[in-house]
Amino acid sequence: MTFQEAIKSNKAFAEDWKANLGSLTYEIANSANSLMKLRITQQGMNADNQAFDPYSTEPMLANCSSMTTEACNKVAGSAQKRKNLRWVTLKRGNRNIRLFELAGGYKEFRELHGRQTGFVDFAFSGRMWADVQVISTNAEHQEGRARIGTLSEEQNKKLEGNTARRGDILELSDQEINILQKTIEVRIAELMSKHNML
């Protein structure tokens, strides 16, 4: 390849890279989102490959309006079951709200609803994880930047609460970063090959 051909190839590569940077950035961000969600929801591991602290077994207050009918019936579905519960009345404005104690805490609350408790997956209804998406704009992608977050304020509050208790749950692990770097390297190699630079 002559010097002039090399300059032409480099220029074509740079233009092609610029034209494809937005779609590559979006692809990488989507992959990052999928890898992170899979690790957490399937293994309950943080970015350092350590298990999140288990679900709380500290006693908590609940009532049937915060539970499904089936779950409520398991704990308070008969006069005898209700009699065996420890009850608390809280005043909210002009109303008195009767709550019962779940001795096994949030872990018991999840079990009553048929949710797994072997590890923390931050998934009860699944709405928070469904709402965690690539939220950056096309303009940001064209600059090689991407953001992952929630689409709604309600789910953002859940994410913020979970993050306050457990750390940055959306952080990527070193292994996930390596996977994403390899994808970028493959895309660069493909473009270099296309422009006869390899």
Model pTM above 0.75: yes
Nearest to 32 by CA among 172, 186, 159: 172
How far is Cα 193 from Cα 191, in angstroms, rounded to an integer? Answer: 5
Strand partners, 167: none
AA identity, residue 60? M
Domain final position from 117, 136, 169: 117
Whether residue 133 is found in the same domain as residue 191: yes
pLDDT, one tens digit per residue, over 145-168 is 999 999 999 999 999 999 999 999
Going from the C-alpha of 39 to that of each of 45, 51, 123, 125, the distances in angstroms are 6, 11, 13, 18
Is the pLDDT at 198 greater than 80? The verdict is no
pLDDT tens for residues 87-143?
999 998 999 999 999 999 999 999 999 999 999 999 999 999 999 999 999 999 999
Q: In 3D, which of 18, 112, 22 has the Cα closest to residue 60?
A: 112
Number of domains in the chain: 2
Q: Are residues 78 and 103 in the same domain?
A: yes
Give the residue numbers spanning the domain of 78.
55-117
* One domain, residues 46 and 9: yes
